[in-house]
Amino acid sequence: EQAMRKMNVSELLTGLATGGKNVKDMAGHAFWKTQPVPSFEELARGKDKIVDGEIKKIDVEKVSKEPSQMYPGFEWVTMDLKDEKQLEEVYDLLSNHYVEDTEAMFRFKYSPSFLNWALKAPGWRKEWHVGVRATASKKLVAFISGIPVELRVRKNTLHCSEINFLCVHKKLRSKRLAPVLIKEITRRCYVENVFQAIYTVGNLLPTPVSTCRYFHRPLNWEKLWEVGFSPLPQGSTKQRQVLKYKLPDKTSTLGLRIMEPKDVDAALELLKRYLERMDMAQVFSKEEFEHWMLPSKEVKEQVVWSYVVEDPQSKKITDFFSFYNLESTVIGNKKHDVVKAAYLFYYATEAAWDQDKAALKARLNKLMKDCLILANNADFDVFNALTLLDNPLFLEEQKFGAGDGSLHYYLYNYRAAPLGGGIDMRNRP
């Protein structure tokens, strides 16, 4: 009965069953129960009773100026990611020890170019790139990072940090190092007068403000089948599956082209208006928009792809979409080393203001079909998207299939009634 009650709470929270995985009550979370995050129980009492706002007032004077004690044999280090060697160390740690699927078939492989992009967003501070080294060998064994982000949650805009890339070497797992890293990055945020954070985790912890599900659209079905990602449905054949996912070579939207620096103002304006419809969204400055959407010319491998639609008559930018490149290592497969995945990033369309929802749906389907074609032509194997923004309007029609994974969205030191009206937050890892 206890388990049932917990299931109901998480279902209530997320609208999704957790399948009994990772379900513990607050008392079972020795670390999280000490942190300024809402408890499951609080939510179970009724979301109508929740008033959005800060959980704990932080007195910066009382925040320690020094890092907390580290376990014997290990030491804190602030990583300097401008130094290519140190960037490479973070890359090595993550490519061997970062997130895997539950069956350990795939592991995220963030390229150094990707890490540069994700960790050096405008306003980044090196103090928020926190590492742990083994004192004797100086080997990097753990990492956690933050970048600054302006986040609107309903009507309130928060100066947040976005916490990501928490990773502990496999040999040091289950030794309570993660809470030490989390407390240290928290301290480093507090001393900079940042008292809230956003983060996403695949596991259920106390307590998500929203939960999204992963959807996958095969591009190279045969390879996905060979690596064990896509099953062959009963009664189908390989040829039929390949045919099902076949895409044309050419896009069909009139005026669709690669986004250029001259489009930034118009595309940002469009995105800002579009995101106003969401309950939670990043508030982009121009500099941030350029950073996140315009591919850097300096990097070895391209990380982000952005396109606009320029109306041939009016010359107005009517639509915009983007996706990013994140490979996964295929663990122990003879034929393939990596799966090349494109992740849908931000998009916006004038059709969002059409009174008629069907018009939005039709427009998004047209745009996303072209987006899939472009990703396919860029040699991606699979196209991933979450159930956020207006994605549910095109996932099925564009032949996405529901994945096993969910992504929970969390706020630190901020209480908010569960978000139903759409969220923007990009597909963080």
Q: Among residues 323, 400, 412, 414, which is the contact residue for ligand MYA, using CB under 6 A?
A: 412
Q: Which of residues 163-222 bind ligand MYA (CB under 6 A)?
A: 163-168, 173-179, 182, 185-186, 189, 194-197, 199, 201, 205
Q: How far is the CB of 258 from ligand MYA (least distance, A)?
A: 31
Examine residue 372 and tell whether it contacts ligand MYA (CB under 6 A). no
Q: Which of residues 53-72 bind ligand MYA (CB under 6 A)?
A: none
CB closer to ligand MYA, 95 vs 302 = 95
Q: Which of residues 82-101 bind ligand MYA (CB under 6 A)?
A: 97-99
Counting runs of H as helices and runs of E as strands, what totals does the chain give?
10, 16
Whether 397 and 365 have beta carbons less than 8 Å apart is answered as yes
CB closer to ligand MYA, 205 vs 266 = 205
Beta-carbon neighbour count of residue 104 at 10 Å?
9
Q: Which of residues 280-299 bind ligand MYA (CB under 6 A)?
A: none
Distance of CA 62 to the CA centre of its chain: 33
Q: How far is the CB of 274 from ligand MYA (least distance, A)?
A: 26
CA dist., res. 184 & res. 76, Å (int): 9
Q: How far is the CB of 99 from ligand MYA (least distance, A)?
A: 4
CA dist., res. 294 & res. 320, Å (int): 12
Q: How far is the CB of 419 from ligand MYA (least distance, A)?
A: 18
Please give the C-alpha separations between residue 66 and each of 61, 70, 184, 198, 420, in angstroms, as whole numbers.
Answer: 13, 11, 9, 24, 40
Residue with token string 């315009």: 294
Q: In sequence order, what are the beta bridge partners of 54?
A: 414
Q: Which stretch binds ligand MYA (CB under 6 A): 48-56, 156-164, 326-334, 401-409?
A: 156-164
329, HSE (Cβ side, Cα atoms, 13 Å): 17
Cα 45–Cα 48–Cα 50 angle in degrees, nearest 5:
75
CA dist., res. 313 & res. 254, Å (int): 11
Is the alpha carbon torsion for 99, 92, 126, 120 positive or negative?
A: negative
Of 59, 57, 60, 54, which Cα lies nearest the Cα of 157? Answer: 54
Q: Among residues 4, 27, 30, 358, which is the contact residue for ligand MYA, using CB under 6 A?
A: 30
Q: Which stretch binds ligand MYA (CB under 6 A): 160-168, 227-235, 336-344, 390-398?
A: 160-168
CA dist., res. 360 & res. 345, Å (int): 18
Q: How far is the CB of 337 from ligand MYA (least distance, A)?
A: 20
Q: How far is the CB of 340 from ligand MYA (least distance, A)?
A: 21
CB closer to ligand MYA, 318 vs 329 = 329
Q: Among residues 23, 25, 32, 336, which is the contact residue for ligand MYA, using CB under 6 A?
A: 32
Q: How far is the CB of 333 from ligand MYA (least distance, A)?
A: 20
Number of residues that bind ligand MYA (CB under 6 A): 34
Query: How is residue 7 annotated by DSSP?
Result: H
- The binding site for ligand MYA (CB under 6 A) comprises 29-32, 97-99, 161, 163-168, 173-179, 182, 185-186, 189, 194-197, 199, 201, 205, 412-413
